[in-house]
């Protein structure tokens, strides 16, 4: 799988070598190569700590704990990003017959996960932002 490439200019840009030096191999695979961590293996799936979830690659604030909910899907789920422009959306046709919407950090372009709609969760947006724990860093509220 190749690294993410976009025509968009991000506020935080680094070379592939700089990202590799900053991130662990698993973090690099998920954040920069659009990989996925194993379900039910991430540190934040069941975490109920109050705070803000930031991009592990660049530190941009992405999701508030107040929007996190138990979807029991194997990854942390949120019903909305922290601010409308904190994430970007890209069409993902990597699974034949199952188009999805990829979610990336709008600050650095790192892969976070996917967003799904109409699954029947009782949330204000009827959306599930299914995000890899390894893409996030939790900043607990003080």
- Cross-strand bridge partners of residue 128: 116
* Lookup result for tokens 């607990």: 140
Select which of 55, 105, 108, 130 is catalytic: 130
The answer to whether 133 touches 82, Cβ cutoff 8 Å, is no
Tokens standing for residue 101: 């919407």
The answer to whether 88 touches 104, Cβ cutoff 8 Å, is yes
Active site residue 55: no
The answer to whether 92 touches 114, Cβ cutoff 8 Å, is yes
Q: Which of 60, 84, 55, 65 is nearest to 141 (CA)?
A: 65
Q: What are the residue numbers of the active site?
A: 130
């Amino acid at each position: 799988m190749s690294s993410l490439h976009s025509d968009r200019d991000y506020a935080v840009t680094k070379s592939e070598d700089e990202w590799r030096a900053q991130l662990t191999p698993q973090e690099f695979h998920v954040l920069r190569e659009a990989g996925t961590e194993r379900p039910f293996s991430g540190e934040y799936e069941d975490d109920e700590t109050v705070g803000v979830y930031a991009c592990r690659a660049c530190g941009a604030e992405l999701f508030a704990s107040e929007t996190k909910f138990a979807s029991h899907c194997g990854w942390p789920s949120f019903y909305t990003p922290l601010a409308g422009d904190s994430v970007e959306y890209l069409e993902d046709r990597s699974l034949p017959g199952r188009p999805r919407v990829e979610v990336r950090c709008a600050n650095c372009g790192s892969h976070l996960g996917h967003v799904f709609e109409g699954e029947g969760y009782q949330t204000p947006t009827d959306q599930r932002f299914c995000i890899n724990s390894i893409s996030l860093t939790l900043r607990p509220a003080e």
